[in-house]
Structure 1
Amino acid sequence: MKHLKFNIIFLLLIITSGWNSTRLLAQENLSIIEIDKLTYDYFNQKKWDELIDLGKQSLKNNIDFYYLQYRMGIAYYNKRNYRKAIPYFENVVSITPEDAIAKEYLYYSYLFGLQVEDARNVLVSFNTAEHREKISFYNQEKTINGVSLNYKNILFDDYAINNTVVDNLTQRTRNSLSYYSVNLFNYAANSSIFDFNLSLLSGKNSIYDIAYSPKIIEEKMKQYQLYFSWNKHIGKGTNLKFGLTYMNETLDWNELQQTTTGNVNSPNQTLIYNGSFSNFASYFSFSKTMKNVDFTLASSFSRINSNSLIQPSISISYFPLGNASLYTKTDVFYQHNFTYQSNKNIVLKQSINSTISPNFGLNIFGLYGKIFNFVDDEGMTMYNNLDALNYWYGASANYYFSNKVQFYIILKNEGLINQYTQDEIIIDNPYNSRSILMGMQFNF
């Protein structure tokens, strides 16, 4: 009985294997006419998975024709795997460049696959201005194609060691910071993007140092920054970017005193110190798209707080679904300080991005590595803060009212280390800061 059961199972396995082999063989031996009919039927019935499976098997067996490429592209597009759809639409457009529908599919596949510069190249190839205007996300006739306005408020822990000035203690603490910026960008006709940013960071610090004053010194800080970048599209999925940043920082030290007018005590300030400092940064990057992966090699050279630094980096973005619904970005920085040769540093940034709906997106991010005199955001941000930053983490959300208007908010927590001197010994004092940035972007 056991032998009979074994023989039946074995026979079933042979029959099943033979049926699968026969089915596969029959599929491999299908003619172009039969594959054309089957893929057409799958297309009409919107059976995208079946169409893709048959199409891949056909191409594997060197059966290829115009409408198969067209249908494969549309199948991947409807599955929202835009990056997989791109090569099929590219093949179709190369055969029939006058096909406006195929061009639209290719344009949106690039755009929704976050290959914006490739999308712009397709856009300018349309024959009529009316067609370009109908599908474009910006007005090509305008000099300024977009503007963003940002405000950020930063709050700090109370990490002062002593709230009065004492002989054996020297410390500087942050009290408050506010950030304002306006960003203008232009999509130039020669496959370039120009970006201009003007920002102001203002705040107050407290200085505890009896060498300067027996009272707490209030330090007022203003930091103006101008940023310019040029992105040049040099070929499919390939871009070069160059950025320059200039920062000017002014500091005023004021001793807080009380003066009496009549019977009323009022605060008064005496200027102790006034100074101005300048920082510079330059940035260069080369980026390349390869299927579902974007690679960027970059480097910055900067002069921050009288330190000369070079900061090469590599960035990898991975789109597992071929669209913006889920993708990751990993950045690795190596920082070399020429002023202090022993100061070498590796910093890791990671983000996970998700587009939950056409109108709403979320992003969580983090950074680990000691940041001091650091260049970030493609050269636009310089961290010249008083204290070293050990890590940060946070989240952001974007809401698109339309393809012309979006609102975004960024929440971030930072872990920093303040150093103070007590009895001539330098001591590390960890603390945290929290920030909220809100902004609006308008495309014209």
Structure 2
Amino acid sequence: MRKLIIILILSIGFQSYSQKVTIEEIDAKTYTLFTAEQWKELIIYGEENVQDFYYYNVRMGVAYFKEREYHSAEKHLNKAISQESTEYAKEYLFWTYFNIGEFYLAEQVYDQLSLETKKNVDYKKTAIESVYLEIGLKSPNTNEVENTYYGNLVLKHRLGKNIKILHSVNMFLQNDGTQDFNSFQYHLSGTYFLETSAFNLGGVYNYSEFTFASDEEITGEFGNQLQVNYESSTIGDTYSVYVNYSRRFKRLRVNANFNYVTRNATNKNFTKLYLKEDGSLISEDFNNSNVTETVYIPSVGLMYTPEFTKDRISVGADFFFPITETETDIVFKPYLNVFILDQLWLNTSYLQVENYLFADYSSEILYNTPDLSVNRFVSTLSYAFSTKFITKLTYTYENYDFDNLVLNYDINSIFLGVQYKF
């Protein structure tokens, strides 16, 4: 009896082993069904013989796509891309996201495609790609400076498949009774995309005006009361022109940039001295001066997405080398990008600039005061409510140190932005 049981167990085990399908057989069978476009048969066979290698996943993904089972197609195509990031799998994943209404994710996949694949996809984009509106408040920690109100409007156009145009207008408005600071800026740039690289050419114009007025009573040499009216203003015109080249090497993106910045400032000071009793003018003084500052800023940047993060985290840094008439410096700007969820991501960066004219083309910020030292930390949280509607909440901490005013203070800022994609 014992021998009979042993023989029965061995025969069942041998039969099970002999019926087990090898991975080579599964690969060959799925290939045959795939080339024959027998999508339903491929799905049935694949689900009965589950595997996890690239060709299995990409064939199953395409089969589900052809059968309009897009969510199952998404699962298998994402697996295939994680195993081997091919243009073929990405093209089907792009159309999968498009068909289930995930246009934001479709855009992400589309941007990863090569120029040749994009031609095959022939994805039609509107002339106006997106519009972005941002407003915010900059609040200093000193009574010497009032709150500053900020607004920014960005419009992006796409001309054909390779050219993108961006132009933006932003402004700062500050008024505390004795002093006003107003700044208006226009930014225009164009980008030409190649297969794994892009050229970018842009320019920025910034107009700023700072005015200060004060009234003061003093005692004159003979004991009479005098009224002193003092007014000063600084008007600055700043121009920036830059060219940028970027190229992607698999998980590493490298960019090189050259920026030319020049600023013309006109300083006006006007002083009047009145007799307090009858308001008669005793004396007046007026002086006018012009200052021109120029800086050349070559820079390089690196961004890397480690494989172990599953494309959720990217780290990078920009290295600026500003060159003025009197000095050359190095500015280091590290940044971190984290995809918390598919629809939620975080971008952070830090920048320190020391006492010279400077422009950071990548963040829409133009520093146009050479007497200013800035430490700037920025963190932006973005959330995609849909494929068309994205909101951004930005927190900024800045430390300002004005050498000519002997003034040092911190600014905490909150900005809220809304982007709509057409």
TM-score tier, shorter chain, comes to 0.5 to 0.7
Alignment-derived partner of residue 334 in structure 1: 320
Q: 1:43 and 1:296, CA in 2 relative to 1: closer, same or farther beyond 3 A?
A: farther
* Per-residue Cα deviation, 1:227-263 (whole angstroms, up to 9, x for no partner): 10001012x12111111001111222211469xxxxx
- What one-letter code is carried by the residue in structure 2 that aligns with 1:154? K
Aligned to 1:45: 47
Kindly report which structure 2 residues correspond to 1:373-412, keeping only aligned pairs within 5 A, or say none: 373-378=357-362, 380-385=364-369, 388-412=372-396
CA distance in 1, matches of 2:44, 2:160: 41
User: Is the 1:250–1:274 contact (alpha carbons within 8 Å) kept by the matching residues of 2?
Assistant: yes
CA separation of 1:47 and 1:188: change in aligned 2, threshold 3 A = farther
Q: Which residue of 1 aligns with 2:38?
A: none
Aligned pair 1:296/2:237, yes or no?
no
Shift of 1:115: 6.0
**Match in the other structure for 2:149:** 178
Matches within 5 A, 1:18-417: 33=28, 36=31, 44-45=46-47, 50-52=51-53, 77-79=77-79, 81=81, 84-89=84-89, 101=92, 104=95, 111=106, 113=108, 116=111, 118=113, 122=117, 125-126=120-121, 132=123, 140=126, 143-158=127-142, 174-204=145-175, 218-234=178-194, 236-256=195-215, 272-304=231-263, 306-321=292-307, 326-340=312-326, 342-358=327-343, 360-368=344-352, 370=354, 372-378=356-362, 380-385=364-369, 388-417=372-401
Percent sequence identity over aligned pairs: 12
CA distance in 1, matches of 2:27, 2:53: 16
Read off the aligned partner of 1:297 and give its amino acid letter.
Answer: A
TM-score (norm 1): 0.64
**Could you tell me how far apart the structure 2 residues matched to 1:43 and 1:241 are?**
50
Tell me the TM-score normalized by structure 2: 0.67
Q: Deviations over 1:274-325 (max 9, x none)?
A: 4422101111111112222222121211114632212222222223359996
Shift of 1:84: 4.2
Task: Decide whether aligned partners of structure 1 residues 388 and 329 sit closer, same or farther in structure 2, where only a CA change above 3 A counts.
Answer: farther
Higher mean C-alpha displacement, 245-254 vs 110-119: 110-119
Q: How many residues align?
A: 346
User: Secondary structure at 2:52's aligned position in 1?
Assistant: helix
What SS class does the counterpart of residue 386 from structure 2 fall into?
coil
Pair 246,390 (structure 1): closer, same or farther in 2 beyond 3 Å: closer
Specify which structure has the bigger relative contact order, considering alpha-carbon pairs within 8 angstroms and separated by 6 or more residues. 1
RMSD: 4.3
2:146 & 2:411 partners in 1: Cα distance? 10
The corresponding residue for 1:23 is: none
Name the CA distance, whole Å, in 1 between partners of 2:232 and 2:296: 32
1:200–1:114 distance in 2 versus 1, CA, 3 Å: farther
Report the equivalent of 1:3.
none
- CA drift of 1:438 comes to 0.9
Against the structure 1 CA distance between its residues 413 and 441, is the aligned structure 2 distance closer, same or farther, given a 3 Å change threshold?
A: same
CA–CA separation in structure 1 for the residues paired with 2:83 and 2:400: 40
Structure 1 residues 272 and 29 mapped into 2: Cα distance closer, same or farther (>3 Å)? closer
Q: Distance in 2 between matches of 1:419 and 1:102?
A: 55
Cα 1:291–1:52 shift into 2, 3 Å? farther
- Once the two structures are overlaid, the 10-residue window that deviates more, 33-42 or 408-417, is 33-42
Question: Matched residues in 1 for 2:25 and 2:366: separation?
Answer: 62
